[in-house]
Amino acid sequence: MHQLDHLADVARSAVRIGTELIKTTRPHTVTEKADRDTFTEVDVQIEREIRNYLAEATPKIGFVGEEEGRSDANTDSPYVWGLDPIDGTANFVHGVPLCGVSLALIQGDRTVIGVISLPYLDLHYSATLSGGAFVNGRKLEASKTAELAKSIVAIGDYALGEDAAAKNRQRIDLTAELASTVERIRMFGSAAHDLAWLAEGRIDGAIVMSNQTLDLAAGVLIAREAGAIVLDSTGDNHTTASKHTIAAAPRIANQLLTLVQSAILKST
């Protein structure tokens, strides 16, 4: 078996640990880590259990998690596992069934394996670099929509914490641009949902005005392997170093990029 195929099997097994915990556990402790940005004991439990599983299954590969940070293996491996144990924690806390486990195998500034599970919806996505993207075993293909006026576009949450007001002026300008252009705007509260559903053709575009690597790494690969275009606001291909995330069906990618650039310019 090719190494990436084997590691993809490992990743899917790891994510199943988180899937079961989300489905069978409710949070009792909600801790604030920044202004209105929280985590729960379930986030931490999932991260620890997946970290331990991967340390045993792939001892030569390092790991970084959203809640407890990095634990490097004693190795020269070019790879590192990156985990968001619950993407959409606020939804999880409030009982909104839009949250997921997102695990990526990252090499340098690109993802080579991405796995996302949406436990409450029983949707399980995965992709390997140049190997296609799949949901529950079915091959994915991004939307063929050619017009923004016929497109559903998801946007990421508004900013919290330091400089939130300034950041949100940009997001509000973007929302106004979208509202006058696209068929519908959606805010699911989870980048994993945004990018997985873009890959599946449920939506036609997804915009995140920040670039939190652990939130996005798996979904960016899954979207790309389904044929979507994923860019930075500069128009360059999106990487882990990008500032913004503009992901779209191929035929509307440039239109959506232009719209985002216009909103950024207006708010500066």
* pLDDT tens per residue across span 39-86: 688 889 999 999 999 999 999 999 999 867 676 655 678 999 999 999
* 37 belongs to an annotated ligand binding site: no
* 84 belongs to an annotated ligand binding site: yes
Ordered by start, the domain boundaries in the chain are: 1-139, 148-267
Contact 246, 231 (CB under 8 A): yes
The identity of residue 100, as a single letter, is: G
* 66 belongs to an annotated ligand binding site: yes
pTM score, two decimals?
0.93
Summarize pLDDT for 81-120 with one digit per residue, the tens: 999 999 999 999 999 999 999 999 999 989 999 999 999 9
pLDDT at 38 over 70: no
Predicted confidence band of residue 36 (pLDDT cuts 50, 70, 90): low
- The CB-side HSE value for 160 (13 A sphere, CA atoms) comes to 10
In CATH terms, the fold of domain 148-267 is D-Maltodextrin-Binding Protein; domain 2 (3.40.190)
Range 14-24 burial, b when 16+ CB lie within 10 A, else e: bbbbbbebbee
Q: Assign 41 to helix, strand or coil.
A: helix
Partner residues linked to 31 by β-bridges: 39
Q: How far apart are CA 70 and CA 117, in angstroms?
A: 22
Partner residues linked to 256 by β-bridges: none
**What does the pLDDT read at residue 33?**
63
- Class at the top of the CATH hierarchy for domain 1-139: alpha beta
